[in-house]
Structure 1
Amino acid sequence: MEQRQAGGSGLWVSCTALGTMTWGNDTDEEAASELLTTFVDAGGTLIDTADIYNGGEGERILGRLLNGVVRRSDVIIATKAGHATDGHRPFDASRRHLLSSLESSLRRLQTDHIDLWQLHVHDPATPVEETLAAMDAAVSSGKVRYIGVGDMTAWQFATYATWQQAAHGSGRNPVLTAGAEYSLLNRSAERDLLPALRARRAGLIAWSPLGRGVLSAKYRNGVPPGSRASRGHMASYVEPYLNDSSRRIVESVCTAADGLGVSPLAVALGWARDTPGVASIAVGPRTAAQLEEILAAEEIRLPREIREALDDASAPTRR
């Protein structure tokens, strides 16, 4: 699997990341073990998780697998912190909460360090300098190697990244990555986030590159049994993309797939993966069969004419 430089750093990550959001819920430990070993055997390195995924169960499962299924040195662990857990407010990026969350993640993951520690969300109630000082302290302690951010607006990312770069040589660590939903069905990151990332030499970790599964064309003729949209707790996550606009884009993907002799999934993943500025695409397969299909798409490179046609078909409406 292709390895890419994360931002302007010495950290290199696989161009596809294995997401763990369903681990401990839709994906049990046995299935997770098969996913992880298949991913690592294929050359994948970046594992995407977070302290809040299923109450920390995603990290716990990963920690157990890192001590029995794959070697810790074979993977790049990227986890996140910043969501409040006390019920008093939604976000907490205070020094107290972040450093406490880091210790909890390390225990669940059964490791002594996090490769890429990301601020999951922006906390408007905590000064940016306090948040970033805590993240720098985590790097200085050796418990974190690199830092990034999760889902943020362009101005929020730019605030964090610029603060870190404002005093070169001061011991501040650059913000290497930002996460955002990005696919042919959601290209909003192109408006200002991707330009901001380029300006600060950071990379995008694009989640849901299959448009929450819709770009695989599985919903072309309705909602199939066993799909995410058929599950009560996931239906509302998929439904925003089950509309006429999305259907037209899916048909364009299918036309491209037929012409190239590949699957719609391969076309959609290839489009997102090879967008300039994307460091990695985060996928969340529930089964080994789904992961095998994703891995089979690694070698697909879209011809320029196909990519331009998909760009036109999925162009966002400007207001």
Structure 2
Amino acid sequence: MEKRPLGTSGLEASLVGLGCNNFGMKIDLAASRAVITAALDAGITFFDTADMYGNGQSEDFIGQVLGPRRKEIVLATKFGGIAMMRKSGERWGTRAYIVGCLEASLRRLRTEWIDLYQIHYHDPTTPIEETLATLDDLVRQGKVRAVGCSNFSGAQIAEATAQAQERRLVQFMTAQNEWNLLNRQAERDVIPACERHGLGQLPYFPLASGMLTGKYRRGEAFAAGTRLATFAYFKDLATEENFTKVEALQTFAQKRGHMILELAVSWLAAHPCVVSVIAGATTPEQVRANAVAANWKLSAAELAEVDALAP
């Protein structure tokens, strides 16, 4: 599988990464083991998790399964959470919080270092320079190799970069944001900020929670257990406008002998700023489908047509 540099860190990530948010939440240890093994066998070397996934079980499962194969992958995890997922008044950008989270993640992952350590959400209550200074120390200690941000706005990326440069601290190598053919909001400010400041982009939800696999159809009930059937946030994706886009994209892909899933991943991969497309999976079959999805190299004319179908 194609690999791309993770900023100037010296690390390389597989173009398709494994999102590990399902481990400990939707699937148990045995199923997670099958997914991880399938990913390694398919050439996926970028694994992304977070301390909040499965209340720490995602990290624990990864640590149990990888064992001696830990050195084969670039392992990314995240710290900090949104207001509804943290204790009242807790500030996740502080030195004490970050150091405590890192030590806990290292134990669960059964590793001595994290390749990419990311702040999961911007902390509005802590100066970004405190967060960066702490991350800088962790890099110097060898516990972290590179750092990144997740769910930051373009302005927040710019501010973090400016503070890091001014204070000569470690800079974010990557930014992780929701980005797909049904949600292109990141292109307004995040992607330009990444390009301007040299951050690699790690898009998540590339398949729009299954909408871009073609498994949901207009007028049909959502299967039990799926995201669209379970969570109100994801149900909002099932609009008439989005179904119209999906149907047009599906026709576009089928005319060229491909599936809409391949189009969704390949479209993201066609953007030079993208380092790895983070695709979650609950079965080995899904892993294998995701792994080959980026093999379709879209031409400039095809990209322009896709942009017109899903503006």
Q: Which TM-score tier does this pair reach, normalised by the shorter chain?
A: over 0.9
Question: Residues 18-29 of structure 1 correspond to what in structure 2 (within 5 A)?
Answer: 18-29=18-29
TM-score by length of 2: 0.94
Shift of 1:219: 0.6
1-structure distance, mates of 2:121, 2:178: 14
Give the AA of the match of 2:165. Answer: Q
2-structure distance, mates of 1:46, 1:229: 24
Q: Deviations over 1:188-228 (max 9, x none)?
A: 11111111111111111000011111011111242442551
2-structure distance, mates of 1:205, 1:114: 17
Structure 1: give runs of 5+ residues left out of the alignment.
Answer: none
Give the AA of the match of 2:191. Answer: L
Shift of 1:117: 0.3
Question: Residues 148-159 of structure 1 correspond to what in structure 2 (within 5 A)?
Answer: 148-159=148-159
Question: Which position in structure 2 is the counterpart of 1:220?
Answer: 217
2:83 paired with 1:82: no
Identify the match of residue 279 of structure 1 among 270, 275, 289. 275
Please list every run of at least 4 consecutive aligned residues from structure 1 whose deviation after the TM superposition is greater than 6 angstroms: none
Question: Which position in structure 2 is the counterpart of 1:203?
Answer: 200
Deviates more, 1:266-275 or 1:99-108: 266-275
Compare relative contact order (CA 8 Å, sep 6+) and give the higher one, 1 or 2: 2
Question: Which position in structure 2 is the counterpart of 1:138?
Answer: 138
Question: Which position in structure 2 is the counterpart of 1:43?
Answer: 43
Shift of 1:86: 6.0
How well do the aligned residues superpose, as a CA RMSD in angstroms? 1.7
Shift of 1:17: 1.0
Question: Residues 184-195 of structure 1 correspond to what in structure 2 (within 5 A)?
Answer: 184-195=181-192
Structure 2: give runs of 5+ residues left out of the alignment.
Answer: none
Give the AA of the match of 1:245. Answer: E
Percent sequence identity is 35
Shift of 1:229: 3.6
Question: Which position in structure 1 is the counterpart of 2:32?
Answer: 32
TM-score by length of 1: 0.92
Identify the match of residue 270 of structure 1 among 244, 266, 272. 266
Identify the match of residue 257 of structure 2 among 250, 255, 261. 261
Report the secondary structure of 2:281's partner residue. Answer: coil
1-structure distance, mates of 2:126, 2:45: 33
Shift of 1:9: 3.3
2:124 paired with 1:124: yes
Question: Which position in structure 1 is the counterpart of 2:62?
Answer: 62
Deviates more, 1:222-231 or 1:178-187: 222-231
CA contact (8 A) 1:209 1:282 kept: yes
1-structure distance, mates of 2:61, 2:196: 37
Give the AA of the match of 1:285. Answer: A
Give the AA of the match of 2:109. Answer: L
Structure 1 pair 73–229 and aligned structure 2 pair: CA distance change class (3 A):
closer
